[in-house]
Structure 1
């Protein structure tokens, strides 16, 4: 089966474009985070409704991954990326018009589907370009994107006019430019039959990658669950714990988490997957513990430090997971495997947050966050134990 076209070999400019496009999609996904407080004040909804608005994004993204996640293996990368860009542009239009919870849910549903469609196609395209650097850029771009979206929107809300609109106009312009440029990329996969069959919901995990996928699952669940918690509830948690009303503080904490994750990924890029996973699990335990000490002491400085450590655990845990799994796929299996990887990741991203949102009605935000943190620490410790057991079984591979 041939999957390469006769177009010129992909080059550095293609990788830059693909990385920036992933960054834009994830920036758009994080942009509403600093705005949730304004939406709550204007529309008078609860923390549970907030987590629902957050959760429908991830559930829609999962639907896309389950149905169109491997579509670019059959149609080619460029048309799938283009369609995802158009859908995300429409989502920005819905955000610009949003004046009720129903509009926000509709915008997040469309945005989630667009991001899910793009994620596997862009990730596979990066691997087509470079199997060595592809996983690295695939790991860094989403984290940098979330930081840009959360902190950039916070800055615009604090200092610029039209706080509920300007960020979406900026993102709309970026997405439109990328939709035009994507057709200049060389196509790395030739069309093949089986398009309709690929739309049946399924997990496309190649047999040679299955063992690695399940081995990294505990740490991957922990880091993505923490990421979901940060994007949905950390600005509200900071306000409840410290009394801070600054939009910049909540956005800055999300940026600290994601940028420290990106820096950790870059710093550990040449280390073995086993070492990266060990470090990621350890840092996650320390970081989450520090964050909860900060919440109970009301100390923003300690919160900042805990976010820095936890973010480093986020990045290294994510890098170790993706490097352990994704390079095992053959070219025509890459989009499907990327889809399966992100399905499991986004389940961890959204389902715990939806549960937390429901529990806040009963126990309050701080006590619920305590319980959530304990679960994250147990998962990270379990992942650490799993790494040690594998190292003991295969010392030559450590």
Structure 2
């Protein structure tokens, strides 16, 4: 391997670590929310607002700065995201009430939205020339591994460590400082071009030649991230309220079981053609969610865990497939905007149903809200299978002549 290729490989691995950090930080508050509720005395409805402001900031950042790195470069956008993420951690660290949580989560949403689309494009830029698909694999695995690690790590600190609402943010600040060092030594991979100010006008657009591919992937994107939203928002509450699991560490493990299984699946399937994974991923998401609903109905932790593992396999396959296809079809100058669209679809599906479910728990109860949510995910998964099977048949060449 030439020295240039070795350097490129090291940078690819280092940026992969940053890819893990941002979703890990985003999942940390999930097991902390019950503790914040006890400390600050707010209701489940207020908790929903705290969740919603994060998504509001994230989607706003995706819409405004999603394509900015295509114009000004990857490094400036990523450096700004890291700085803002650090500010959000400091606000969490010193939080004394709900207003501070709202500010911290909103800032974290903006930072995460600015970072993830830039990191997605940067990973494609740095991917080995002989294996461009590796960007999709590492980003998919890294995102899910980060979500899993953040949830279980925070859950462990809440359960076992002193100062659980502060220690985790100190740890994250140290890791963020290391990420800043990575960005400082990173060469710029995008060519600066005009139109940076114009790119800040909120818009979601896909080049006409790519629309068919994006539309075909949208059902499985929505299914997978809607399921992720269910686990991130209601997972610990379902474990405690419906399955009788009171440990906050186990509450974090609920998220980890889905995302950790997904990360392992993405890694194990890394050599498979990404397009071949789309329909099976949707089927596993639907089937696993159905089994989880059965476990909830039977009050069986084992059955619910089995369903989560099945759904997690689908979650990981979907992440690998969807990101991999987006990475394949995007030209270099389209990557920032296309990945912004990818994440807008993903996080809208992740957030809007979860917020509605949070509101629904106060109206119909936790069990009914979770059952309705799960049933919708099953239907969406089945629809995603149908869409992609039909599309695959249309792409299949017609064989002519005799055998």
TM-based fold match above 0.5: yes
Q: Does 1:56 find its partner at 2:57?
A: no
Q: Tell me, what secondary structure is at the counterpart of 2:390?
A: helix
Asked whether the 8 Å contact 1:288–1:310 carries over to 2, the reply is: yes
Does the CA-based 8 Å contact 2:133-2:327 persist in structure 1? Answer: no
Match of 1:329 in 2: 330
1:45-83: CA deviations, max 9, x gaps? 232322221121112111001001111111111111111
8 A contact 1:48–1:360 mirrored in 2: no
Are the counterparts in 1 of residues 134 and 270 from structure 2 also a CA contact under 8 Å? no
Match runs of 1:67-78 below 5 Å = 67-78=64-75
Alignment correspondent of 2:352: 351
**SS state of the match for residue 164, structure 1?**
helix
Q: CA deviation at 1:8?
A: 8.8
Aligned residue runs from structure 1 range 206-245, under 5 A: 206-245=207-246
1:89 is aligned to 2:90: no
Aligned to 2:76: 79
1:396 Cα deviation after fit: 4.0
What secondary structure is seen at the aligned counterpart in 1 of 2:354?
Answer: helix
Q: Report 1:27-42 matches (<5 A).
A: 27-42=24-39
Deviates more, 1:212-221 or 1:266-275: 266-275
Aligned pairs (5 A) from 1:1-398: 11-130=8-127, 131-396=132-397
Structure 1 residue ranges, 4+ long, deviating more than 3 angstroms after superposition: 7-10
Residue in structure 1 matched with residue 401 of structure 2 by the alignment? none
Please identify, of 210-219 and 323-332, the stretch whose mean Cα deviation from structure 2 is larger.
323-332
Q: Is the 8 A contact 1:209 1:325 kept in 2?
A: no
CA distance in 2, matches of 1:122, 1:244: 37
Distance 1:280 1:353 in 2: 21
Supply the distance in 1 between the matched residues of 2:14 and 2:49 (Cα, whole angstroms).
Answer: 33
- Provide, for residues 322-348 of structure 1, a one-character-per-residue CA deviation record: whole Å limited to 9, x for no partner: 222332111111111111110111110
Could you give the per-residue CA deviations for residues 146-173 of structure 1, whole angstroms, max 9, x where no partner exists? 1110001111111111111111100011
Q: Matches of 1:161 and 1:350 in 2, distance apart?
A: 31
Tell me if the contact between 2:230 and 2:373 (Cα under 8 Å) persists in the aligned partners.
no
C-alpha distance 140-8 of structure 1, shift in aligned 2 (>3 A):
closer
Shift of 1:129: 1.2
Contact 2:245 2:251 in 1 (8 A): no
Shift, 1:10, TM fit: 6.0
User: For residue 3 of structure 1, what is the aligned residue in structure 2?
Assistant: none
- Does the 8 A contact of 1:226 with 1:349 survive in 2? yes
| Deviation at residue 247 of structure 1 after TM alignment | 0.8
TM-score, structure 1 normalization: 0.95
Q: CA deviation at 1:207?
A: 2.4
Note the C-alpha offset of 1:286.
Answer: 1.6
Secondary structure, aligned partner of 1:242: coil
Partner SS state of residue 283, structure 2: helix
- 1:191 positional shift: 1.7
Asked if the contact 1:67/1:201 (under 8 Å) is kept, the reply is yes
Native 8 Å contact 1:8 1:186 kept in 2: no
Unaligned runs of 5+ in 1: 1-6
